[in-house]
Amino acid sequence: MKIIITIFILLLGSIYCDSPQETIVQGCTDPEACNYNSNADEENDSCLFDDCLGVCGGDAVIDCTGICGGAYATDDCGECIHPVNQAYLWNSTCSGCMDESADNYDESAIFDDGSCIEEFPPGWLLVWNDEFNGETINGANWAHEVWSPGHVNNELQAYTSRPENSYIDNGHLVIQALHENYNDANYTSARLNSAGKGEIQYGRFDIRAKVPLGQGTWPAIWMLGSNIGSVGWPECGEIDIMEHVNNSNNILSSIHTSACYHSLPNYPDGCPDYNITCPDGCWQPNTSGTTLAQVDDWHVYGMIWNENSLTFSIDNQPFMTVNRPINSNTQSWPFDQDFFLILNLAIGGDWPGNPDNNIFPITFEIDYVRVYEAE
C-alpha cells in the first residue's frame, strides 16, 4: 500500500512540473504614453510622455512666455524672468527691507534685500538707493561702460565689466584699477552708470565713499543729463558731486554747462553769474572744493538739488552752493531734467597726469548711494 501511494505522489509531481508556467509581462500600460506596451500585463512605472517638442520622455516645457522649450521661469514673486540674463531681477519685486524698525520697512517684502536704512534725514523720503549688500553688483541699478583708453580726457585706462575691476566686498562696491596689458591698454578700471535704471530730477544725494591716494588716480561721483544721447556734452549738463586727484587732500565739486565749462575760450570770465557761495571762499564761478585732513577716510559726499540751486557738502557740511542765473536758459541751467549717476576710477589723463605704477592695484570704495525727495 505504501508503495502505491509513493508512486501516485511521484506521478502528480511529474505532471505538475511538466505544466507550462504563466509569464507576466511588465511595462507601461497607459495607452496615452509614448512607450505604451499593449502586451504588458503589469504596470512598472516606466511610462514616458511626449514633451512640447514631441520628444518621447523629453523635458522641454512651455515657459511662462508661452514658448515651448523657452528659458524664462516664474520667480517667487510671480514674475516671468530669464533666470540667467535677468538674474539681477529674480525675486526683486517682492524684496525689500524687512526690519520693522527701519525707516524704509517694506511690509509687502517676503525677501530681505539688505537695503534697510535705520533713519532718513529729517524732511526727506528715500526714492532710490543701493546699499551694495548683495553678492554681485545689482544690474537693476547699474550698467558697466566698456571703453578703450583715450576715450575722454586722454585717460589711460580701459574700462571693463570684468569682476577684476568691479565687485562687491563686505557690503561695499569696489572699483579696482590694475596695471596690466589689456586690449591695447596698460591699465584697467571700471565705470558704472545708472542710465535707464536710476534717473532723477531734484532731491538729496548721499554717497558714502572712500577715495584712494596715489599719483595718477581720479575717482569721481558725478551725473550727466539723461538727454546726452540726443544733445551731447556739455549741452546735457554735468554735475560733479565729488572729484579727487592724486595725493591731494582737496575734494572738488562742479557744474558744467554749454555756457560754462573749462575748455571754453573765455572761461572762466565768460561764465554766467551763478552767484556761487562758499563758506571758505569759492575757487571758480562753477567749481569749488574743501580740504580734508583725512581725505582717504570714509566720508559722505552729498548734494541737495532743487529747481533754483545745487548745494554740495561733505559729512553734512555744505561747502558750495551754485544758484540758477537770472534769465537762465538751457545753455546756462540744463538742470531741470532727469540726470543719471556715474561712479568711476580713472587713471591718468589731462588732470592727474601719468600714474605711479607702484600704487597698483588701487581701489575706490562706495558703501552706499541714497537718493531722497523732499517730503
Query: Nearest to residue 164, comparing CAs of 173, 148, 176?
Result: 176
Query: Nearest to residue 214, comparing CAs of 368, 353, 314, 344?
Result: 353
Contact 114, 133 (CB under 8 A): yes
Query: Nearest to residue 372, comparing CAs of 89, 103, 95, 101?
Result: 103
The answer to whether residue 243 is catalytic is: yes
List the catalytic residue out of 131, 155, 238, 365: 238
Peptide bond preceding 163 in cis form (omega within 30 of 0): no
Between strands 203-210 and 362-374, the pairing is antiparallel
* Spatial distance between the Cα atoms of 225 and 327, rounded to a whole number of angstroms: 21
* Spatial distance between the Cα atoms of 117 and 131, rounded to a whole number of angstroms: 9
Distinct helix (H) and strand (E) counts, the chain: 2, 24
Using a 10 angstrom Cβ sphere, with 0-12 exposed, 13-18 middle and 19 or more buried, the burial of residue 184 is exposed
Find all residues with CB under 8 Å of 369, minimum gap 6, and list them. Answer: 129, 130, 205, 206, 207, 341, 343
The x, y and z cell numbers of residue 85, run together, are 540674463
List the catalytic residue out of 131, 155, 243, 365: 243
The answer to whether residue 43 is catalytic is: no
Using a 10 angstrom Cβ sphere, with 0-12 exposed, 13-18 middle and 19 or more buried, the burial of residue 37 is middle
Residues marked as catalytic: 238, 243
